[in-house]
Amino acid sequence: MAHIGVTAPALELAGVGHAYRARTVLSGIDLHLPAGRIHALVGPSGCGKTTLLHLVAGLLPLQDGAIRNGFARSACMFQQPRLLPWKSALDNIALGLKARGVPRAARHAQARDQARRFGLDDTALAQYPQQLSGGMQSRVALARALVLAPDLLLLDEAFSALDVGLKAELYRQLLAEQARRPMAVLMITHDLMEAVRLAHAVWVMAPEPGRIATGFRFDDAPAQRTDAQVYARTAGLLDDATVRACFGLDAPAPAAPLALAAVGGLRC
């Protein structure tokens, strides 16, 4: 089925399914992501999370269901930085602006301004990807996405290979950007704690075929969450029988479960 017409500024998925030859990898995916919200899709490897993101990004043809993307500008960041090795860090950040036809001086000025928010100085910006550490490459990749001022940001395991300190830094940058303007974010991750730290809503997928099995919403802003709240909410999710089944975990030992509502989380 073709993508349906765009009306409101939101991302809508209705009955989305996908198959590779005879293998169904996604079935009956419904999702509503409004402006200014971060939604996380979590689930085990092989449940179709990345396939779903590629469908939303238009990198795969839509087979079943409908996708309505009401956002004017979208950007993606993947697990691998995917920087062009023959371009400097500055030119990599400015790549999308060049594609939009922004003149060289203007796009370099915007790229430098965005880069400074990530601690990238002129020396780093003059280097090529192979001269940068993995962490610096990830900074460049996120700066490249955000310099486009996207209304919708798609993150595919974007922080999974980073160390704890760099993750925390990029989390802060992402939330600061999202606080400045009503950017919607759809993030794919297998890390429940990352999802709880960053997202307004967490959707848990089950495999074979990939589908949304359950979901949880949080009332507070992600930037206001303390480490203690994040740990408690993650523990609450891991006590949930549906979440454990999705990840193939054994039933928890008999104990008083940690109620998600008690720490600000509500099942969708």
3-state secondary structure (DSSP) of residue 222:
helix
- Residues of the chain short of pLDDT 50, as ranges, are 1-2, 5-6, 259, 261-264
3-state secondary structure (DSSP) of residue 51:
helix
- For the segment 181-225, what is each residue's pLDDT rounded down to a tens digit? 889 999 999 899 999 999 999 999 999 999 999 999 999 999 999
Task: Return the closest-CA partner of residue 240 out of 260, 263, 268.
Answer: 260
Q: Which residue is associated with the tokens 């001269």?
A: 131
Phi, psi dihedral angles at 69 (to 5 degrees): -105, 105
d(CA 9, CA 238): 33
Question: How would you classify the pairing of strands 184-189 and 152-156?
Answer: parallel
**Sign of the CA dihedral 80, 82, 87, 91?**
negative
- For the segment 231-259, what is each residue's pLDDT rounded down to a tens digit? 999 999 999 999 999 998 887 666 555 54
Could you state, in order of their start, the residue ranges of all structural domains in the chain? 1-73+152-158+183-219, 78-149
Q: Which residue is associated with the tokens 């003149």?
A: 103
Whether CATH 3.40.50.300 fits 1-73+152-158+183-219: yes
Q: What is the pTM of this model?
A: 0.88
What amino acid is encoded at 169 in this protein? E
